[in-house]
Structure 1
Amino acid sequence: MKFKVKRNPILVCIIVFLIVFPFFLLYQGEPAAPLIFPFLIAAFLAHALFNSYFVIADQKLKIVFGLIRKEIFIRDMKEVHYSMNPLSSPAWTFKRLKIVYTGSFTSSRPAYSKFALVSLPKDEKRFFRELTMINPGISTPI
C-alpha cells in the first residue's frame, strides 16, 4: 500500500524558489560554471518534491525521499511517535514521525535501537493502522 507524504506549503514555496533561483541567475547573465552546484541541488530538490512516499509491502516499510531510500522491517519496529525537530532529517513537514526499531550488526552482536525521522503520511490513521495490523506490538500515537 502506497502513502503520499504531507507537504507544508511554506517549505514547498522555499524549495520552489531554490529550484528556480539558479535559472534566474543564468538568465541575468551569470557565468554557467559557478551555477553547476546550485543546479545539482535544484535537481535533487525537484526530484524529492515529486518523488516522496511510503510503501508498506512484504512486511517492510519502504521510505522514499527523492534519491534517498530506506527499508525497515515492520516486525522490528518498537514505536512510532511524533517529533518536532526540524533539523533532524530531510522532510516536507516540520512535524515528523520518529520510527524506533531494532537492528544488529551481525548475529553474534546483540540488537540495538535505531531510529528514522521521516515526513508525515497524508493519511496518518490508515498508515498507523496498517503498521499495527502487521506488528500489533508497535506503540503509535493513534
Structure 2
Amino acid sequence: MPRPKPATFDKKKIVAENRRARFDYSIEDKFEAGIVLTGTEVKSLRFGEGSIAESYAEVSDGAVWLINSNVPEFSHGNRYNHEPRRPRKLLLHEREINRLHGAVAREGMTLVPLSVYFNAQGRAKVELALAKGRKAHDKREAIKEREWKREAGRLMRDRG
C-alpha cells in the first residue's frame, strides 16, 4: 500500500505564486508536479524570475501541460536561450493524470497552478490545484469572511 502524501509540500524556495487563484477559484484538491525545463529556464527561475499569474494547465495526449506561464529569457543564455511563453510539460503519475482528465471533462473543473518552487532536493516543482470557478456572490462572501477574521483578530489583540 502506498504511503499517503503529506498535506503540504516541502517548499524550500518559492519562485512564483498565483495569489489571485485562491480568490477566483474554490480549490478542491492539490497536486505536486515536476516540470520539464531547459537549462536556461532553470537558471532564470533560480534568479527568482517567472510568472504564473495568467497561466493554466490542460490535459492533452495523456500528458498535462502548463500553458501561458512566463519564464523570461536568461540574460547570459546567448543562442541557447528558450522561448519565454512556451508550453511546458508537467510530470505526474498516470493515475493522477487520469483523475485530472476525468474531473476536467466530467465535472467542469479547472487546473490552476498555485505556485512554482524548488523543493529540498533543488528540483523545480509546480503546485497544481483542481479548482472550480467562484461566482461573484461567492467572492463577496469570501471578502466578508476575511475582513471579519481580521477584525476579530484585531479585537482580541486589543483586549488582550
TM-score (norm 1): 0.25
Alignment TM-score, normalising by the size of structure 2 = 0.23
